[in-house]
Structure 1
Amino acid sequence: MNKKITRGLATGLIMLTSMGVAFGAGTQFEIKATMDSGVKIMYKDKAQKLVDVNGEIKDPIMYKGTTYIPIRSVADIFGVSVDWDNDNRKVLLEDNVTLSLEKDSLETIMESVYSRIKEKPMMLANTVITDENSKYYLGLESLKGAEALASEPMIGSIAHSVVLLRAPEGSNIEVLKKEIKEKVDPRKWVCVGVEREKVIVDNIGNLIIMIIDGANPTELHEGFLKLK
């Protein structure tokens, strides 16, 4: 997401959260504000309408020299999902990014997997897997027409490897997953590794992920499954 957009949403969230705190503390009060329909919201060189969930136009308001705009309306423009946590009186914002697991690059998908975990391992590098190095990363003699990408630390003393493999249409995914699980070397690093039973191999359609991680493989796996 564009940094300017992120800052704008953060500002809106702060404004809304501050008001929510005031209400929650029993300090609700009336204000005198001015609706200003002349304010234009520009995004990608186009004027945008601020509307609520019912499609009704909501004009910005002016209060003590500051223009306030409804955060849900702005979030909709930027493709960000908005939810309301009534118990804790919080507005929840989340990127609403749609991935095509069939068409998007493996680099984009890999980045999305890591974006869903709390702490990404340091100093990772992506490596395109070919028939020449497929045995090292996957235990396979060749890719047989598949495309694959590995993400591993540049420092070899950390047991961490995430591989995405997009198999050709018509591939026997279950057989391919079983072969990877049985043949990949989970102890290929110096002095570190994991037991084979802890290697995770799963898929969404023809996109396979292989995870070797000595810290938290489950979180990476769950991040991948959220791409469905």
Structure 2
Amino acid sequence: MPEFDQDDHISDEPEGGSDLPAMNSELAETLGDIVAQLAGDLMQIDLQLVKCKRALALLQPKKDGRIDLKFWRKPTIPGKHPAPVRWRRLKAGLEPPRRGVKQGRQVPGVDPRKRRWTAIRVPAQRLSMQAKRSMGFVETHPWVVEVLDMTQKLLEARGRLLEQLCSLRRYEARWGKVGREWVAGVGEDLDAKMPGWEAVAAKKKELDRAEAEEARRLVEATNEADRLRTWVVRND
């Protein structure tokens, strides 16, 4: 026996139910609220990560090896996204590393006496292990570890939340133009065939009405014959 949710309602009327589309305004509003809430949660996580970035800047000296957070763009996801980095002080005259460019040599046009900084990404897993313990860092090391633990948990939560939003984006991309064109094609087919179906329904209704009239006529004729037989019997 089929089971129904307690919210389901099966009408006993032949034309019961709603004529509203399945994707009505209430459902559309609910889905919009869900996406907006997830996006708002993502923003709140980023705000807390900015606080972690501030705490790391306060607790660590501006020396080689300090941990920081940078917000970088990704090629496949809109917006900027946080990533833990370690600041490195380059040798005099060297530029920050770039893919395909050798770094162990003097770069033309760069002052050989000038030392520049570069941010190198570090793994987000076990982030507290990245905290330095050397001179200048050891005094605040426990607090840095605490901040990095918070940062890691926030990054993990952000990753899970972002995956949910990206899954919606991927589904929309798979559905995309092809799915919308298919729905539009079905709609055009229905619009083209609807007048014919309406004519069939009208003709069937007309025939049903004629059959009903004939049945009523036969019933009345039968009743009249019964009344006539009864009258004859009574008068014999």
Does TM-score exceed 0.5, indicating one fold? no
Which one has the largest radius of gyration? 2
* TM-score category of the 2 structures, normalised to the smaller one: under 0.3
TM-score by length of 1: 0.24
Bigger fraction of residues in strand: 1
TM-score by length of 2: 0.23
Bigger fraction of residues in helix: 2
